[in-house]
Structure 1
Amino acid sequence: AADAAADALAGVAAVGPDFVRLQERVRTIAELAGRFADEAADGRVRWIDLSPLQARLVESPLDIRDMLTEQRQAAPRAWIFTSATLGEDDGLAWFTSATGLEDATTLRVGSPFDYPNHARAWIPTRFPKPNEAAHPAAVGSLAARLAAALGGRTFVLTTTLRVLPQIAEALRTEAEWQGQSLEILVQGTQPRRALLQRFGDGRGAVLVGSQSFWEGIDMPGDALQCVLIDKLPFPPPNDPLVEARVRQLRAEGRDPFDAYFVAEAAVSLKQGAGRLIRTETDRGLLVVCDPRMRQMGYGTRLRAALPPMSWVGSEDEALDWLHELAAEH
């Protein structure tokens, strides 16, 4: 019977080699799926990522402590890590605790930029909360009013893709009501590079984008002078990796909100704010459209994580600053 099966398979291979490769691929997938059904090892989490076109079996470590420690021990040498967003405290715990580098020598160096004189920050306090239905429209309307003072040159950064069209539509409606001819660029309507090229061409535009525009964007000079962040960038609580980290922290007797959610938000907030001031002569306004940053206790920690910008207390003060910047353009 085995010989007959082998002969049959050889015959199929002769006339349909793709079928044999497909059969081997199916067997491999079946073996992987079987292993995936077992319980994940300690320190790892598994989940199924579903999309309209595919289903992915994902396994991820909760942190890279063990892997990095193994690499360090295997090849003793000097390791140097540098970034503007390794943590908000002098010990850089956000990074060192996740990588097993608690014994590292850390150095936190201040920025050479003159933030107090060159940048302003504002948190609208009389503003819908992020969980209220009116919040996206309020963000869009505010963005239009501020961008109008600059003739564009504004980023609106969102924490989710879901609210992008709502904010963009409210922005467009408010701009038309004011009689402003703002060019509004929205993530997803064109490739990322094309959007950035159009934004930076000097014609004055407003770009509404989500996570891919929070970091790695360098728009120096007066091309970008206002950044609005729609709400505090807490990790999504229903993400499988986030859920696993929460369970891990609770098992260790730690508070997940303080140790993880606020720490992650502080780093992400710093990344978003970092789009604004890129050189020693840049000037601009940062707006965080989330009143919790003023009203909640953890807001003090998040404000401290930002560069030392000067704070303004009202929309009128924010507009006065933007008008001053526009006069220099």
Structure 2
Amino acid sequence: LFTSYAQLRTTADAIRAPLDRRGITVLQHGVSSRRRLLREYRATEKAVLLGTRTFWEGIDLPGDELLSLLIVRLPFAPPGDPLVAARCAELDNAFNEYTLPDAILRFRQGFGRLIRRTDDRGVVVLLDSRIWQKRYGQSFLDAIPRCTEKRAPLSNLREEIELWMMGAE
């Protein structure tokens, strides 16, 4: 899940060829409609789906349809958005009263794409270090269901995920 189309396009361009060589299809939001992308994702045995704002909520991919979810950045609304600016202008502490609660809600919804039912299992990888480095980071973690949390450098990520998925932890 991405918070920016530019980041999504850059990532899609970077991963498409290496994943194609491994038989993995890259499906990219902005190229087709959400409905069409989801239909193609479900019909493709090995696929990676890259999505932005509309993919953070309202999508049901239960069980083995979705085993891992990558969240690139915490989903704060863009500060230059006129609607956000108008809402924030009326508040004494816009960050704590609007920006942070909105981002936490969106994060919870994004996390919920992976865990839809009590028997769902999967891995969420969050690449945004603010979750650990900022005081508000714990508020994001408190908003999701209890789960195993593991901090690991990107170089160890694959091994950590494989160990967890095999039940070694």
> What's the TM-score, normalizing by structure 1?
0.47
CA–CA separation in structure 1 for the residues paired with 2:150 and 2:73: 18
Q: Say which SS state the counterpart of residue 162 (structure 1) adopts.
A: helix
- Counterpart of 2:160, as a letter, is E
Larger radius of gyration: 1
Aligned residues: 162
| Correspondence for 1:241 among 60, 80, 83 | 83
CA–CA separation in structure 1 for the residues paired with 2:23 and 2:76: 34
CA–CA separation in structure 1 for the residues paired with 2:122 and 2:90: 40
For 1:225, the equivalent position in structure 2 comes to: 67
For 2:40, the equivalent position in structure 1 comes to: 198
Question: Is the contact between residue 19 and residue 26 of structure 2 (CA under 8 Å) also seen in structure 1?
Answer: no
Q: Which runs of 5+ in 1 are unaligned?
A: 1-156
What is the correspondence of 1:242-257 to structure 2 with a 5 Å cutoff? 242-250=84-92, 255-257=93-95
Q: Say which SS state the counterpart of residue 75 (structure 2) adopts.
A: coil
What are the Cα deviations for residues 244-268 of structure 1, in whole angstroms up to 9, with x where unaligned?
A: 2222112xxxx21122111111000
What is the correspondence of 1:1-329 to structure 2 with a 5 Å cutoff? 157-175=1-19, 179-201=21-43, 203-250=45-92, 255-314=93-152, 315=157, 316-322=159-165, 324=166
CA–CA separation in structure 2 for the residues paired with 1:159 and 1:248: 25
Question: Is the contact between residue 19 and residue 25 of structure 2 (CA under 8 Å) also seen in structure 1?
Answer: no
Q: CA deviation at 1:279?
A: 1.8
> What's the TM-score, normalizing by structure 2?
0.88
CA–CA separation in structure 2 for the residues paired with 1:243 and 1:281: 41
Question: Is the contact between residue 202 and residue 223 of structure 1 (CA under 8 Å) also seen in structure 2?
Answer: no
Q: CA deviation at 1:285?
A: 0.6
For 1:113, the equivalent position in structure 2 comes to: none
Question: Is the contact between residue 2 and residue 8 of structure 2 (CA under 8 Å) also seen in structure 1?
Answer: yes
Q: Say which SS state the counterpart of residue 6 (structure 2) adopts.
A: coil
Which 4+ runs in 1 deviate beyond 6 A?
Answer: none
Question: Is the contact between residue 262 and residue 302 of structure 1 (CA under 8 Å) also seen in structure 2?
Answer: no
Question: Is the contact between residue 168 and residue 186 of structure 1 (CA under 8 Å) also seen in structure 2?
Answer: yes
Question: Is the contact between residue 23 and residue 46 of structure 2 (CA under 8 Å) also seen in structure 1?
Answer: no
Q: Which runs of 5+ in 2 are unaligned?
A: none
What are the Cα deviations for residues 102-126 of structure 1, in whole angstroms up to 9, with x where unaligned?
A: xxxxxxxxxxxxxxxxxxxxxxxxx
Q: Once the two structures are aligned, what percentage of the paired residues are identical?
A: 39
Q: Say which SS state the counterpart of residue 310 (structure 1) adopts.
A: coil
Q: CA deviation at 1:288?
A: 1.4
What are the Cα deviations for residues 47-93 of structure 1, in whole angstroms up to 9, with x where unaligned?
A: xxxxxxxxxxxxxxxxxxxxxxxxxxxxxxxxxxxxxxxxxxxxxxx
CA–CA separation in structure 2 for the residues paired with 1:188 and 1:246: 29
Q: CA deviation at 1:174?
A: 4.5
CA–CA separation in structure 2 for the residues paired with 1:256 and 1:317: 38
For 1:41, the equivalent position in structure 2 comes to: none
CA–CA separation in structure 1 for the residues paired with 2:74 and 2:115: 20
